[in-house]
Structure 1
């Protein structure tokens, strides 16, 4: 079997640029486990031969993957697959499932809690409802390539999602369920990031030591009618990073 397995190789007869085809092929090798976390990639000359493209084309693809957080280059050593991370920063309004797919990672979730409860003062303020009104609480352990990345607790006004407790499947994208069954389509979101630490309970679920660095993220998502989701997340500091590109 080839070092690249059954991955489709770049083909000059296809309309996509060769660098894009090469990048797609290498992303697939990470996603399907052929290239594992921490593994050193073949050098540019070897990749050029394996993919059937020039070294300049390979270099372009590798640079894009490094910028997106999939690879790391170490001077004098080579290029390595990074431990799976979520890269946050300037991006479109996406779900966790879409973010994982965009990074070439296998998305996964473990349902921890799905229930209806009274809105806390914090959730009520975020969702612009009265304190004590019923909200649906959805708490999940989010996974990338089967390893924990973060804990997310979402609150949604029960009045806007009647029957969600019975309809939503743990493995499904929440946004897809909201769009399909409740005609709720995200329009904008506001996020706040803080640096914190993981408590003992959260650390046990995340597979890290209590007190380990973590990002605390709060997100309010709106559609045409206003806020429909308030999410509180604890993201592993070693698997979640924020990147920004600044311009004058």
Structure 2
């Protein structure tokens, strides 16, 4: 009887076996970074166990940083954070490409309206001046890493909305307007929790950490050309300050 009990005690728990199998699936690329894992019901059917056992296995993977749950969306394979440099010249496409990822932009909204007080101050505009506002998503390998709002002086760049919609690049659009180069005049960085809207766009859970930057870009003559606010998904980027 003693020998039987000892042999039984050495058996690997079922949840641990499931966790090991899923870990192997991830390591061998069956589920890549950002991919959604099968549902608890699907995993229960695959392994012939109840959902409680599957939950235990998924918690183990989460504790080890391999996956993370998004409320109401499912469980996803964790992504390797993308290195993102913030310095005198910040160029989204170049930063993402240098990190070995495929850059992309998704336009959410483009409009022309009167500047609010903060926008007018940042762009050195008279109160009530019109601005172009570009809301969008920054993507790395098709996955959202940042939500942004960029504001530009409308009088100086009258055709900018069409150019941004066509080119999906601030650098390229400004170049068509004669601004061959621009640099970062200031950047303010804060950390906070994601709102419901930010979480929806970034495909994270409400309350997850985001890094917010507020920045002003200027042309070679020192004139502000862009005021931008960006919300980075906290677990998807590593912000690096450079000269």
Residue matched to 1:174: 170
Determine helix, strand or coil for the equivalent of 1:182: coil
Residue matched to 2:205: 209
Q: Deviations along 1:141-185, whole A, 9 cap, x unmatched?
A: 111011110101000000111111223335532111211333352
- Equivalent residue in structure 2 for 1:232, among 229, 234, 242: 229
Residue matched to 2:139: 143
In structure 2, do the counterparts of structure 1 residues 220 and 242 end up closer, same or farther at CA, with 3 Å as the change threshold? same
| Aligned-pair CA distance for 1:90 | 5.7
Over aligned residue pairs, what C-alpha RMSD do you find?
A: 2.6
1:72-221 matches, within 5 Å, as 83-89=79-85, 91-170=87-166, 172-221=168-217
| Separation of aligned partners in 2, 1:90 and 1:167 | 25
Structure 1 position 242 matched with structure 2 position 226 = no
Give the greater-gyration-radius structure (CA).
2
Q: Deviating runs (4+, > 4 A) in structure 1?
A: 89-92
| Aligned-pair CA distance for 1:240 | 1.7
Mark the runs of 5 or more structure 2 residues left unpaired by the alignment: 1-28, 35-77
In the alignment, is the contact (CA less than 8 A) between 1:84 and 1:144 conserved in 2? no
Q: Deviations along 1:116-145, whole A, 9 cap, x unmatched?
A: 011011111111112221000001111101
Residue matched to 1:23: none
In structure 2, do the counterparts of structure 1 residues 156 and 184 end up closer, same or farther at CA, with 3 Å as the change threshold? farther
| Separation of aligned partners in 2, 1:84 and 1:111 | 25
Determine helix, strand or coil for the equivalent of 1:149: strand
| Separation of aligned partners in 1, 2:183 and 2:116 | 24
Give aligned pairs, total.
Answer: 171
| Separation of aligned partners in 2, 1:86 and 1:157 | 31
TM (norm. structure 1) is 0.62
TM (norm. structure 2) is 0.63
In the alignment, is the contact (CA less than 8 A) between 1:118 and 1:132 conserved in 2? yes
In the alignment, is the contact (CA less than 8 A) between 2:87 and 2:184 conserved in 1? no
| Aligned-pair CA distance for 1:190 | 1.3
| Aligned-pair CA distance for 1:95 | 1.6
Instruction: Name the structure, 1 or 2, with higher relative contact order (CA <8 Å, separation 6+).
Output: 2
| Separation of aligned partners in 1, 2:127 and 2:96 | 34
| Separation of aligned partners in 2, 1:94 and 1:187 | 7
